[in-house]
Structure 1
Amino acid sequence: MEYFERLATVEEAEQFIEENDVAFLYISQENCSVCHGLKPQVKKVMDQYPKIQTAEIRTDDAPEVASKFHIFTVPVLLLFVDGKEYHREARSVYMQKFDEKIKELYENYFD
């Protein structure tokens, strides 16, 4: 099941970030059980904020994504505002804290 738009290259990720005022990027790997377990929880949170564009890129498909975004572990949740990194969570994500951060941004940016 696909939860987010799937990106295959770093160039696609850069374009996605550039084209969207607020962009969320989920970075994962195919063989990462934490990535697979966390993704539905993240999707549930992001569904509450429909104006934020979401996408996923796997380091298996695009290994250079790790160096581009300074990734040392997966999963990584990156939120960009106007092309700049606004928030980052990695590996152990506290969903309530993550949701609060997204809600704060959403209310301030879109209202």
Structure 2
Amino acid sequence: MMDIATLKYFSHQRCGVCKVLMPKIKELLSDSFPKMKFQYVNIEEEPEVAARYQVFTVPTILIYFEGKEYYRFARNVSIIQLREAIERPYQLLFE
């Protein structure tokens, strides 16, 4: 079964920025987008998954709605930009 809304978070254990960013993203999803699924991918443990999604840097965040990639953020990720990117398609699907 396909998830309607998914955020894929690509990182690895040595990424300091990623460790700070991930809890903020999880909080954003739980507070504002509770129906969006969160998936964490450690690119060092799952390099084939990173390759399949063409992820070459961390953090990389992919936003999917109805199985299609809508947005891709890499390296410098703003929570505000992330919220704005998710908001409209999320509202169209769930509200």
**1:106 partnered with 2:95:** no
**1:32 partnered with 2:15:** yes
Per-residue deviation, 1:25: 0.8
Structure 1 stretches of at least 4 aligned residues deviating more than 2 Å after TM superposition? none
SS of 1:19's equivalent in the other structure is: coil
Q: Which residue of 2 aligns with 1:75?
A: 59
TM-score by length of 2: 0.90
**1:61 partnered with 2:45:** yes
**1:43 partnered with 2:26:** yes
TM-score by length of 1: 0.78
Per-residue deviation, 1:50: 0.8
SS of 1:109's equivalent in the other structure is: helix
* Equivalent of residue 52 in structure 1, options 21, 26, 36: 36
Q: Residues 3-22 of structure 1: matches in 2 within 5 Å?
A: 19-22=2-5
Q: Which residue of 1 aligns with 2:72?
A: 88
**Aligned mates of 1:27, 1:72 — CA distance in 2:** 9
Unaligned runs of 5+ in 1: 1-17
SS of 2:39's equivalent in the other structure is: strand
SS of 2:46's equivalent in the other structure is: coil
**Aligned mates of 2:84, 2:52 — CA distance in 1:** 27
Q: Share of identical aligned residues, percent?
A: 33
What count of residue pairs does the alignment treat as equivalent? 94
Per-residue deviation, residues 32-90 of structure 1 (Å, max 9, x unmatched): 11111111111121112111111101012101122111111001111111211111111
